[in-house]
Structure 1
């Protein structure tokens, strides 16, 4: 009897067409090397930091060693320099976030408008983000804020005012200005991209309903930028907790401890006082602080994305 295919009849439901069998391949052998390297890259430095934080290890006196217990942590937690460094760290992070998010939002709204030379203006305002921290710190220290030859001193003398020695009179403010100048282009890029994704029909509908520029900004643009602002805050906070080059080049943590943050305090303990054990204890405290901040930021952003 001829088959149904030979007669040109489609197979019935009782005789389904055969499908080629697929082999199930496990992806574990392919992922394992990358996962192992990543874990080693993370765990080995953390384990060594924890190890050194519980021993006496001073580079100037190698004979002084042994298990120290919690003495490194006790000494660090009772040292007023730690709390000054933590306060400076929080002030630095907080003010840089306020400046970059505030000015970044206003500049993003401005650069979203159509005006002559907008492309060149965007390029110039984004350029500081590609300058290395050490170079930008040197530029601000020697060209902008120098009390004699700096641009700010020249402007002050031209207006009849006495030039300000920024790094002596306002050291932490000077560092905040430098770091904010570096991170403002990053915030601008993220926020400008978010504004450009706003539906133009929604804007036109608001304009037709009589919404002015202020109402448009408060009730349409700002709510739309909520998630982008959360991303900017999270990424900047993680990096701003480790600001180091700007402080080393400009003030070296001084005068006194006026500009010493947690990262610079760890550097002082390890490479200036040669106390590897105390510096490792400070590193563990910095890791705990960074993870606490990241935990709350990630939860806040995840809640914002879910709404």
Structure 2
């Protein structure tokens, strides 16, 4: 049992890391809050004084705000659906005995370690290019006209790119859950005459519910800040401007730090609302 002296020593050793972590999180947050109430225009005189809540009103009443929120939610929802559905199927497939199973698992997980900017450039130039892309040659092989993905279906294209990046993460978490499934339960249901679909919906899927909620929670937190893929592919055009990209445009392109900081506060509020909602779902599933 730990003594009072050992607990105090442990707190002392952890204190520098805790202080550093708090500073790492709180300093940018405090600066964002400070600038959101200021008229800070770097190219037009710097800090021009207090703006009150004017930045918040201007940001939320701009014509681009609600479309960017809608685009963000559609993008997050699309990626979650694709990664969870394909993640479940891949995890079940990878759980089956096969030749070179270890190599296959490494290849499936590999895209998660590719930088978002690199993967977006690869998809843009090697796969989705309407002239020399692999998808264009595939379309021509079947006698169809190539698709200009990033201008014809830009939102779908970015969802495909981001899903390719996050599918390995979902597969890895779900594969761990599949491997923890009691094989005797599946054998018993098979002996009782249950069909593969019945075993999936009544045994496997309920067992994966906790892992699915964890995947949804973690991915949503990161997906709300999608930026690099949009910057590299469409530059926010063709209806692909998310809330994060709108903030970038206000801060760097318009050089209005105060307005962009107000948008950052809205992004923090949105992320916390979604996180609290998902945490409630996760908590209910974990209590079962």
The equivalent of 1:301 in structure 2 is: 282
Quick one: distance in 1 between partners of 2:186 and 2:4? Answer: 53
CA distance in 1, matches of 2:71, 2:116: 19
1:288 and 2:269 matched:
yes
Mapped to 1, the partners of 2:122 and 2:139 lie a distance apart of 18
Higher helix share: 2
Which residue of 2 is the match for residue 89 of structure 1?
72
TM-score normalized by structure 2? Answer: 0.95
For 2:240, what is the secondary structure of its paired residue?
coil
d(CA) in 1 for partners of 2:230, 2:259: 21
Q: Paired residue for 1:271?
A: 252
Q: Does 1:31 align with 2:14?
A: yes
Which deviates more, 292-301 or 276-285? 292-301
CA shift in 2, pair 1:68/1:201, >3 Å:
same
- Residue 120 of structure 1: how far off its partner (Å): 2.6
Aligned partner of 1:16 in structure 2 is none
The match for 2:110 among 113, 127, 131 is 127
Q: Quick one: distance in 2 between partners of 1:64 and 1:170?
A: 41
Q: How far apart are residue 208 of structure 1 and its match?
A: 1.4
Give the alignment's TM-score, normalised by structure 1: 0.89
The 3 A distance-change label for structure 1 pair 158 and 80 is: same
Distance across 1 between alignment mates of 2:20 and 2:141: 59
Alpha-carbon distance in structure 2 between the residues aligned to 1:285 and 1:195: 38
Q: What is the aligned-residue RMSD (CA, Å)?
A: 1.3
2:205 matched to which residue of 1?
Answer: 222
* Greater CA drift, 74-83 or 38-47: 38-47
Measured in 2, the distance between the counterparts of 1:101 and 1:159 equals 30
Correspondent of 1:261 among 237, 242, 250: 242
The match for 1:102 is: 85
SS at match of 2:50: coil
Correspondence for 1:59: 42
Q: CA offsets, 1:66-101, max 9 Å, x none?
A: 000011011111101111110110000000000000
1:39, 1:185 → 2: CA distance? 31
CA-CA distance at 1:63 after TM superposition:
5.3
The offset of 1:112, in angstroms, is: 1.2
Alignment partner of 1:193 is 2:176: yes
**Alignment size in residue pairs:** 284
Distance (Å, rounded) in 1 between the aligned partners of 2:21 and 2:236: 34
